[in-house]
């Protein structure tokens, strides 16, 4: 029994000593494979290499052409910008169009149309457009300005948006005076017209505070009439400085 155990122990020791031969043989195999790969990669067939490079160039150039064609196709389907043609119309004809367009509001007394030199003006009561002491447009105001803009966007006339207040001094967190309030109101109306596609180069915004009353400020009814926004429409005076003629307007905006 002892002899058998001693013999097994001897065999195990001998097996452990020979184990390094397996690792050594694996290392030689890996080195042989490495040198074979290095040798193979160093022997480049120049003709085949040129063919491969040419094939890749053809593939990538065709893909680039396809991508370019796709981009051009996408560009071609983008609709051109909408250009609203401007009509050459007399002031009297434009005034008639506004009287027809706004006849319901005119009958209700919510606005008036009056002649001025070289044109006419649309007078809108400020209480219809804004809350007291505010320049934020009410919903009904947007509807009215939209109706006015539908005509102004297709004509080439001078458009002055004038803000007026009564003569009662005011001061708030947002507006220091009637001047500030009238300017903010006129600006908001003018900017809304521009957003409704009225040509920007036709629009002028002005503020008068309480300096141009149409009624006395002694009564509430008079002060209410003085609080207003006037949209004055007239023929352009091309001799005036800063006036952009219609044919040069687009180039000036660019």
Q: pLDDT at residue 69 above 90?
A: no
What number is the average pLDDT over the span 61-70?
57
Mean pLDDT on 155-161: 94
Cβ proximity of 170 and 226 under 8 Å: no
Q: What is the pLDDT of residue 62?
A: 59
pLDDT number for residue 75: 46
Q: Are residues 228 and 117 in the same domain?
A: yes
Single out the residue in 52, 77, 102 at which a domain terminates: 77
Q: Are residue 142 and residue 54 in the same domain, yes or no?
A: no
Does 27 map to a domain? yes
Of residues 74 and 54, the one with the higher pLDDT is 54
| For residue 110, pLDDT beyond 50 | yes
- Domain shared by 67 and 144, yes or no: no
Taking the whole predicted model, whether its pTM rises above 0.85 is answered as no
Same domain, 133 and 162: yes
State the pLDDT at residue 253: 47
| pLDDT at res. 209 | 93
Residue 251 belongs to some domain of the structure: no
Mean pLDDT, to the nearest integer, of 220-234?
93
Closest CA to 163 of 227, 114, 109, 120: 227
- What average pLDDT does this structure show over 130-144? 89
Mean of pLDDT over the chain: 78
Shared domain for 226 and 144, answered yes or no, is yes
- CATH code of the domain in which 148 resides: 3.30.1330.60
For residue 100, which phi and psi values (nearest 5 degrees)? -75, -40
- Is the pLDDT at 214 greater than 60, yes or no? yes
* The domain boundary residue, chosen from 19, 49, 77: 77
So what's the pLDDT on residue 252? 46
- Residues 110, 65 share a domain: no
| Structural domain includes residue 16 | yes
- Which residue range is the domain that position 230 belongs to? 91-245
pLDDT band per the 50, 70, 90 thresholds, residue 215: very high
Q: Has residue 103 been placed in a domain?
A: yes
Question: Domain check: are 98 and 60 in the same one?
Answer: no
Confirm whether 250 is domain-assigned.
no
* pLDDT (mean) for 136-148: 90
Kindly indicate the confidence band of residue 16, based on its pLDDT and cuts at 50, 70 and 90: low
Q: Which two tokens stand for residue 10?
A: 């001897």
> In the chain, how many domains are there?
2
Query: Is residue 230 within a helix (H) or strand (E), and if so which, with residue range?
Result: strand 228-234
Burial annotation 146-183 (CB, 10 A radius, 16+ → b, else e): eebbebbbbbbbbbbbbbbbbeeebeeeebeebbbbbb
Structural domain includes residue 28: yes
The verdict on 222 and 110 lying in the same domain is yes
Q: What is the mean pLDDT of residues 169-186?
A: 92
Q: Are residues 43 and 101 in the same domain?
A: no
Task: Supply 235's token pair.
Answer: 């023929």
Average pLDDT of the residues in 137-148? 90
Would you place residue 121 in the very low, low, confident or very high pLDDT band (cuts 50, 70, 90)?
Answer: very high
Q: Which residues pair with 123 in a beta bridge?
A: 112, 230
The answer to whether position 253 is within a domain reads: no
Domain match, 186 and 237 both:
yes
CA distance 81 to 4: 102
Confidence band (pLDDT; 50, 70, 90) for 78? very low
82: in domain: no
Quick one: 127 and 233 in the same domain?
yes
- Give the pLDDT band of residue 27 (cuts 50, 70, 90): confident
Kind and range of the H or E run holding 223: helix 220-226
- Greater confidence (190 vs 45) lies with 190
Asked whether residue 103 falls in the same domain as residue 61, the answer is no
């Amino acid at each position: 029994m002892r002899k058998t155990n001693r013999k097994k122990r001897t065999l195990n020791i001998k097996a452990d000593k020979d184990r390094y031969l397996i690792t050594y043989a694996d290392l030689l195999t890996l080195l042989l494979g490495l040198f074979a790969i290095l040798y193979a990669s160093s022997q480049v067939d120049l003709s085949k290499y040129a063919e491969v490079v040419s094939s890749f160039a053809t593939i990538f150039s065709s893909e680039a052409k396809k991508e370019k064609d796709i981009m051009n196709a996408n560009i071609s389907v983008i609709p051109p910008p909408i250009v609203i043609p401007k009509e050459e119309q007399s002031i009297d004809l434009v005034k008639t169009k506004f009287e027809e367009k706004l006849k319901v509001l005119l009958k209700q007394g919510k606005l008036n149309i009056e002649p001025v030199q070289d044109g006419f003006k649309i007078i809108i009561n400020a209480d219809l457009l804004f809350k007291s002491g505010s320049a934020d447009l009410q919903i009904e105001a947007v509807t009215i300005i939209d109706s006015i803009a539908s005509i102004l966007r297709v004509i080439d006339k001078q458009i002055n948006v004038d803000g007026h207040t009564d003569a009662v001094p005011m001061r708030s967190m947002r507006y220091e005076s009637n001047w500030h309030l009238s300017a903010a109101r006129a600006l908001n109306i003018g900017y809304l017209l521009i957003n409704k596609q009225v040509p920007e180069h036709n629009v002028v915004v002005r503020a008068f505070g309480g300096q141009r009353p149409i009624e006395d400020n002694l009564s509430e009814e008079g002060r209410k009439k003085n609080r207003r926004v006037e949209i004055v429409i007239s023929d352009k005076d091309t001799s005036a400085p800063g006036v952009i003629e219609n044919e040069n307007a687009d180039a000036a905006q660019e």
